[in-house]
Structure 1
Amino acid sequence: MTNRRKFLSVFSATLAGTLFLNACGNPPEKGGGADGGTASAPVADAGLETKTITLGYVPIVEAASLVVGVEKGFFAKHGLEVKLAKQASWPAARDNVVIGSAGGGIDGGQWQLPMPHLITEGIITNGNKVPMYVLAQLISQGNGIAVSNSLKKANLRVDLTPAAPTILGFPKTEGRKFRAAHTYPNANQDLWIRYWLGAGGIDPDKDIELLTVPSTETLQGMRNGTMEAFSTGDPWPFRIVRDDIGYLAALTAEMWPVHPEEFLAVRADWVDKHPKAAVALLKGLMESQQWADKAENKTALAQMLSSRAYFNTPAAVLEPALKAEYKLGADLKPSNDPKLGPLYWNSDRGVISYPYKSLSLWFLVESLRWKFHPGKLDTIEQAKALVDKVNREDLWRQAATELGLPAGDIPKGSSRGKETFFDGIVFDPENPQAYLDSLKIKR
């Protein structure tokens, strides 16, 4: 299993490198900012320390607001040219941010957590420490766990307990362990499927085989039986259902409503050298997120993302996913609740974009749960100190104030409060140890 993980990580990092797309070539259209179709004209001279930044992205719905910011001119409005660079995989993004844009890589971009924190400490970069800052949350939700049609009879759903005997019985019935996959180890999509399995009484390190597979291999892997389950962002889970390869066992929104998903993080040296440009980046992002979140813009958003330059995926696949028009479970029960879909700005828990330290802490506490990084990340105190070093709530607040956001949309503190999961487990950021103690399956 370890050799396969290493092989796939190296393969995916080497496969296609990075495709750079100067997506700022189109000037902003005339319009009315976040409330209308497009941003207003670019700022003639915003007084920024630099006029450009290169951001990496992976073509899943988590990246939507970055694309909107470029195509609708929200970044340009604030005097910044954002160059988007499509990443072949998460290992490629990791390697490219270490290189930096000066060496042909990237300055930052879209990240699964806790990748920026781990890169800061050199934990996933062979000891090469590249300090980063988490500036904003890009999205909440928009992820799912898809299951092969070979398990239709078991009808795996959010509560996995009824289907646990089927999964645990694979060695006897299939001659091997149940296989599940995610796109990058020890980060978002790995943690979602681990939580799901653990809540159902299945140990992801002992009872099954857990693989790392690039999202582009999702469809083929499910078709040929390489895996029985896959955790990743839309449009991939939606495509698995649409192509009748499998079904959606669980939306991450069902597991943890309004959960933190992927984030904007940038190299600390770039931010420290260009603080005004960093605030301009955030202002453009906030307006982009507001635009992407509006129901009336979902069709246009799907069309925008579908282009070959970005996702190269049919709009007919993207639009239902953006509108949360899902078919859940083996019986394909229709679900049209917008609260279960991708959220870019508004939610029942307040503004999505804010980089709460409490939410980042959960990812590092989960790293402790599974003992991902022994000798490098071993205590809750280390986790808290790392979050304090990396999360820059101050820059978000500055950008929000300059943008003129209502005071009610600007959080006053670093904690969103207690978080409750579908199985009744509570994460209290004031007492992470109690959360760890409450989990039955852990290392």
Structure 2
Amino acid sequence: MTLNRRQAIAATAALFAAARAATPRGAFAQSPTTPEVRKAVLGYIALTDAAPLIIAKEKGIFAKYGLPDVEVSKQASWGATRDNIVLGGERGGIDGAHILSPLPYLIHTGRVTQNNQPVPMVLLARLNTNGQAISVAEKHKPLGARLDASPLRRAMNRESKFAMTFRGGTHDLWIRYWLAAGGIDPDGDVQTIVVPPPQMVANMKVNTMDAFCVGEPWNDQLVNQRIGYSALVTGELWRDHPEKALGMRADWVERHPRATEALTAAVIEAQRWCDADANKPEMCSIIGRRAWFNVPVPDILPRSQGNIDYGDGRRVENFPLRMKFWRDHASYPFPSHDLWFLTEDIRWGVLPSNTDAKALIAQVNREGIWRAAAERAGVPASEMPSGPSRGRETFFDGKVFDPEDPAAYLASLTIKKLAGA
């Protein structure tokens, strides 16, 4: 039988209708980049460097990349972040987080988990560089400790307390480096204690600590309440140092490779937005809301813009070593930086001295996913780093970390506490 043109069109339409009816709903919208899931649960701590996750949620950027149901869930402390990652999103915990850069490695190796049970982790992006500070109680201001911590030696003893946010994390490493460079042993001469970031100012107010290292906005809030001063901002300790990261459970990443790339692309787009000077007031207004930080914008905005009141008479405007979310490759997770973190955790006995740091980085750092996600987010080639290393890094005291020879760096450090296997 020969079909005329009208019959042929009708038959073709019927075939398409039958195919559509036989195909799972929504399949025609699928593409090679469509996420396998619409949701991930991400933790955050009330710190300014969590802004990319909050902005990606608030401005619909996660939804733009096919992840409209992403939850960004406040965590009480880094210990709670760790515990909820171990639990996992499917069991009421979280799938990933705004996290201290070394922490994915410490969870991956089981060094900080219950019964030392490893939970495989992946590091997908750096969230920021710079933007932390070491602040000192008002009573010690006359000593004049700044980048040089040694003036504090006149008032310190084994009862003196220096707070950080998690053993082996970035804030622990910054305050230890600063103290040791000033000839103060953070394990032998004073006590280092753990305090969650949002509780730092309250603890300083009741005189339970002598100094602390934490991210913003807590240092600026301390100064605004006139109960202490910032000895330094951490970009002065190490210029454009890496800070927080986007870390995920490895099993989530392995099950959802397209969603992982989409999630990372959304965070990258949010980082680029956060880093634009024109967006800083809106960013601080959003993250300061009761639902996120519950912190006044004047406690967040000035240091985000590089305007720093140290609280001891020093003021700087438009400081170049402010928190960066994107510029100068702030988002790219340089494996060479992870090597420094692991070397410092070996220095202070958090990791054993026989740790194969480079093998560990190969397991955890997924900079290849970052590159694919950055391309998907429309990042021009000129804004991507050419290689996985930023090269030799020089610290304020003249020490040099060469990622080609971390052992030489470790040997050059006078004060350290190494652990065996």
On whether the aligned pair clears a TM of 0.5, the verdict is yes
Query: 1:329 & 1:362 partners in 2: Cα distance?
Result: 31
- The partner residue of 2:321 within 340, 356, 363 is 340
SS at match of 1:367: helix
CA contact 2:36–2:258 (8 Å) conserved in 1: yes
Alpha-carbon offset, residue 404 of structure 1: 2.9
Tell me which residue corresponds to 2:219. 237
SS at match of 1:260: coil
Kindly indicate whether residue 283 of structure 2 is the aligned counterpart of residue 301 of structure 1: yes
SS at match of 2:134: strand
Q: Larger radius of gyration, structure 1 or 2? A: 2
Alpha-carbon offset, residue 47 of structure 1: 2.0
Query: 2:183 & 2:359 partners in 1: Cα distance?
Result: 32
% of aligned pairs identical? 44
Alpha-carbon offset, residue 221 of structure 1: 1.5
Kindly indicate whether residue 300 of structure 2 is the aligned counterpart of residue 313 of structure 1: no
Alpha-carbon offset, residue 216 of structure 1: 2.5
Query: 1:275 & 1:54 partners in 2: Cα distance?
Result: 16
Superimposed CA distance per residue, residues 84-139 of structure 1 (whole angstroms, 9 cap, x where no aligned partner):
01001111110000110110000001111211011112111122221110000001
- The partner residue of 1:58 within 45, 57, 60 is 45
User: Which stretch shifts more, 221-230 or 97-106?
Assistant: 221-230
SS at match of 1:49: coil
Kindly indicate whether residue 112 of structure 2 is the aligned counterpart of residue 124 of structure 1: yes
How do 1:65-80 residues align onto structure 2 when only pairs under 5 Å count? Answer: 65-80=52-67
Question: Aligned AA for 1:275?
Answer: P
Query: 2:253 & 2:109 partners in 1: Cα distance?
Result: 17
User: Which stretch shifts more, 322-331 or 68-77?
Assistant: 322-331
Tell me which residue corresponds to 1:8. none
Kindly indicate whether residue 98 of structure 2 is the aligned counterpart of residue 110 of structure 1: yes
Query: 1:406 & 1:160 partners in 2: Cα distance?
Result: 42
Tell me which residue corresponds to 2:135. 146
SS at match of 1:339: coil
Kindly indicate whether residue 379 of structure 2 is the aligned counterpart of residue 405 of structure 1: yes
Superimposed CA distance per residue, residues 189-237 of structure 1 (whole angstroms, 9 cap, x where no aligned partner):
0000000000111100001111111222212211221101010010111
Tell me which residue corresponds to 1:364. 342
Query: 1:434 & 1:150 partners in 2: Cα distance?
Result: 39
Tell me which residue corresponds to 2:399. 425
Cα 1:427–1:187 change in 2 (3 A) is same
Question: Aligned AA for 1:303?
Answer: S
Query: 2:141 & 2:154 partners in 1: Cα distance?
Result: 11
Query: 1:211 & 1:117 partners in 2: Cα distance?
Result: 21
Superimposed CA distance per residue, residues 236-279 of structure 1 (whole angstroms, 9 cap, x where no aligned partner):
11111000000000110110010000000101111111111111
Query: 1:324 & 1:379 partners in 2: Cα distance?
Result: 40
SS at match of 2:300: helix
SS at match of 1:66: helix
CA contact 1:143–1:231 (8 Å) conserved in 2: yes
How many residues align? The count is: 385
Kindly indicate whether residue 236 of structure 2 is the aligned counterpart of residue 254 of structure 1: yes
TM-score normalised by L of structure 2 = 0.89
Tell me which residue corresponds to 1:436. 410
Alpha-carbon offset, residue 164 of structure 1: 4.1
Tell me which residue corresponds to 1:166. 154
Query: 2:298 & 2:102 partners in 1: Cα distance?
Result: 32
Superimposed CA distance per residue, residues 21-75 of structure 1 (whole angstroms, 9 cap, x where no aligned partner):
xxxxxxxxxxxxxxxxxxxxxxx75621111111000010110111111111111
Query: 1:249 & 1:198 partners in 2: Cα distance?
Result: 15
Query: 1:403 & 1:63 partners in 2: Cα distance?
Result: 19
SS at match of 1:372: coil
Tell me which residue corresponds to 1:415. 389
Query: 2:64 & 2:198 partners in 1: Cα distance?
Result: 34
CA contact 1:356–1:414 (8 Å) conserved in 2: yes
CA contact 2:46–2:198 (8 Å) conserved in 1: no
TM-score normalised by L of structure 1 = 0.84
Tell me which residue corresponds to 2:173. 191
How do 1:21-32 residues align onto structure 2 when only pairs under 5 Å count? Answer: none
Query: 1:223 & 1:435 partners in 2: Cα distance?
Result: 38
Query: 1:214 & 1:415 partners in 2: Cα distance?
Result: 32
Alpha-carbon offset, residue 329 of structure 1: 5.6
Question: Aligned AA for 1:57?
Answer: Y
Alpha-carbon offset, residue 186 of structure 1: 1.2
SS at match of 1:152: helix
CA contact 2:153–2:184 (8 Å) conserved in 1: no
- The partner residue of 1:355 within 328, 333, 336 is 333
CA contact 1:155–1:329 (8 Å) conserved in 2: no
Query: 1:62 & 1:212 partners in 2: Cα distance?
Result: 19
